[in-house]
Structure 1
Amino acid sequence: MSVVGTPASTTAKNLAVFIDADNLNDATALDHVLLALRSMADRVIYRRAYGRPESLKAIHAVLWKHGVRPVANLIVDKTTTDSALVIDAVEAVCTNDIDIVAICSGDADFVPLALWLREKGCRVLCYSLANKIFANPDSFYDDVVLLNVVEDVSPNEVPQAQSAQESGAIFQASPAVEPSPVPASKPKPQPVKAMTAPSDKAVVATTPSIKKILSILPELKGKQPVHLSQIATKLRDAGVLDAKTKPVTLFRRHPAQFELMPKSQPNCVRYRG
């Protein structure tokens, strides 16, 4: 699956992944993340998920599938979950030769951990749901991958060939059944329609990082307003914006870094820095 914002391939030897199940608790999104991490190193030696029992229960099937050890927080205070994750991450790096650490959470509480890991020479990745990420994560992580979880098309809608290919689903259409000759008094049977069974959810990482946006649109680095019509084509050519999506939708996902002007009906964007 081609994913915008996915970290480049690497030849790392060892990788560790720590999951904040109280933050990234969508089973479909987490499944895609763990599948992607498998190919990034020779071994994934630490696989742990931390959270309240109900949070871990919601993703228990994915944890079992990928061999992730759940660490339940039996205390009401959420900070104990974060503390347990931080302690285990520090212990893992101090006692093992770990090249990459993946933190599956959009919580800003893990920023000090990310900075410490980078100082120790680790490459630190952040995986988060797009609606749960804190502002300016690119300043603290080597790579940030934001995930959007969207519902598939409704059962009553027959997907077009292109959309079926993009979603990765396979739709097999049955041939239409020719009606048999019947007396005029009987109703003419209708052709049998192809039935499709959409999956529950599909995860699409469509939000590029700030670094990615600035690399496509270097004119924004001057921090001067740029008309949206001048940058829409570049974003679409780079594959971070589809034909039906307006540029304003992309920049609204990063309100801390980009200012849309005027606020009522924006037609320009300015990089805040």
Structure 2
Amino acid sequence: MIALLIDADNLSSPAWVDEAVEKLELEDGVIAIRRAYGSAENMKGLADVLRTRAIRPFVNLPLPKNTTDMSLAVDAMELACLTPRPKLIAIASGDLDFVPLVVRLRERGIRVVCISERAKLSQDAIPAYDQVIYVGADQVVVPAPEKPEILPLVVEVVRPAPKKSVAKVAPVKPAVPKPPAVATKKAAVKKVAKKSPGKAIEVVTSPQTIVSAFPNLQAGQWLELSDVAKILHDKKLLAKSATSTKLFKKFPEHFELRPAGKPNKVRLIKL
């Protein structure tokens, strides 16, 4: 048995409620219990989708705070005490207040799923759930083109050597056998750089190269900015004199920093 409990004061868009039902049934099967909790105004705005999806409305008392959350939590624990109890309870809300309820339901052997808009979901609530399902057309992340490996783009500019008007003839010296080539690739590169001062190498960093260095960013997890900066320096994706804050601020549509004043965390929004 599957139960869907909707916090209509949080997930108040008819389109998102309709999408929540559709995605949950597609992944887990028929939803036996469908309930929505909220104020009279929000219930009125959801009237059509509640009717077409056969969702029972539970209108709360007109009190100023937390009436919806408490009503939903009480019914969820009541369902958990039934025989047989639901195998899955989906809570359609991004509120952090439901974490204690989620923990108690999981202790009773019930799988708990969160359904929410990405912008309304508290990041601290994600670890408590068995699964998170995002709704909303603006939450679709377009995958990057498949490539075997994303490497930093290296652009090499070669300037021609100055022409000499008269060639000088060097004195003939006896041939000396050369020692075996044991120089490493790194040493060879340094030697070429000294002989050819006209060559310049520029490393161009893109959002794709940054994400390739941090698999956790692809999951939308918050990372410590200091740890990210160290790895960017180690992988030579960030110059020693540059700061990671300025780098991520170049791509505001792809990365989010917090707090706004002196950011110390970063996460991926989308590619």
Same fold (TM over 0.5): yes
Larger Rg: 2
Q: Percent identity?
A: 33
TM-score computed with the length of structure 2 as normaliser = 0.55
1:221-240 aligned at under 5 Å gives the runs 223-225=227-229, 226-227=231-232
Distance in 2, matches of 1:102 and 1:82, equals: 14
Aligned to 1:69: 56
SS of residue matched to 1:35? helix
**Superposition misfits of 4+ residues, deviation over 6 angstroms:** none
SS across alignment from 2:32: strand
> Quick one: distance in 1 between partners of 2:16 and 2:127?
24
Counterpart in the other structure of 1:133:
121
Corresponding residue of 2:91: 103
Are positions 1:144 and 2:132 aligned together?
A: yes
1:58 equivalent to 2:45? Answer: yes
Residue from 21, 39, 61 that aligns with 1:34: 21
Q: Could you tell me how far apart the structure 1 residues matched to 2:142 and 2:101 are? A: 24
Q: Cα deviation per residue 1:5-64 (whole Å; 9 max; x = unaligned)? A: xxxxxxxxx211100000000111111111111233343121100000001111111111
Alignment of 1:203-214 (within 5 A): 204-206=139-141, 214=216
* Distance in 1 (alpha carbons) for counterparts of 2:46 and 2:26: 22
SS of 1:40's equivalent? helix
Aligned counterpart in structure 2 of residue 116 of structure 1, from 104, 121, 134: 104
Q: Return the letter of the residue paired with 1:121.
A: G
Paired residue for 1:45?
Answer: 32
> SS of the counterpart of 1:131?
helix
Task: Give the counterpart letter for 2:107 in structure 1.
Answer: E
2:94–2:117 Cα contact (<8 Å) kept: yes
Could you say if the C-alpha distance between residues 141 and 247 of structure 1 is closer, same or farther in structure 2, counting changes exceeding 3 Å? Answer: farther
Distance in 2 separating the partners of 1:85 and 1:51: 9
Give the count of matched residue pairs.
179
Q: Which residue in 1 is equivalent to 2:164? A: none
Read off the aligned partner of 1:57 and give its amino acid letter.
K
Q: Is the 8 A contact 2:112 2:130 kept in 1?
A: yes
CA distance in 1, matches of 2:51, 2:141: 27
1:17 aligns with 2:4: yes
Alignment counterpart, residue 65 of structure 2, candidates 48, 59, 78: 78
Find the aligned partners of 2:103 and 2:114 in 1 and give their Cα distance: 12
- Stretches of structure 1 that go unaligned for 5 or more consecutive residues are 1-13, 151-203, 231-245
RMSD (Å) for aligned C-alpha atoms: 3.8
Deviations 1:200-245 (A, max 9, x none): xxxx44499xxx9628589x799332549x9xxxxxxxxxxxxxxx
Decide whether the 8 Å contact of 2:217 with 2:267 is kept in 1: no
* Gapped regions of structure 2 (runs ≥ 5): 144-213, 236-249
1: distance between equivalents of 2:71 and 2:20?
A: 21
Deviation at 1:149, TM superposition (A): 4.7
Is the CA contact 1:223–1:270 (under 8 Å) kept in the aligned structure 2?
Answer: no
For 1:247 and 1:148, locate their aligned partners in 2 and report how far apart those are by CA, in whole Å: 23
Whether the 8 Å contact between 1:47 and 1:68 is mirrored in structure 2 is yes
Q: Is the 8 A contact 2:126 2:132 kept in 1?
A: yes
Q: Which has the higher contact order (CA 8 A, sep 6+)?
A: 1
User: TM-score normalized by structure 1?
Assistant: 0.55
Which piece of structure 1 moves more, 92-101 or 81-90? 92-101
Q: Give the corresponding residue for 2:253.
A: 249
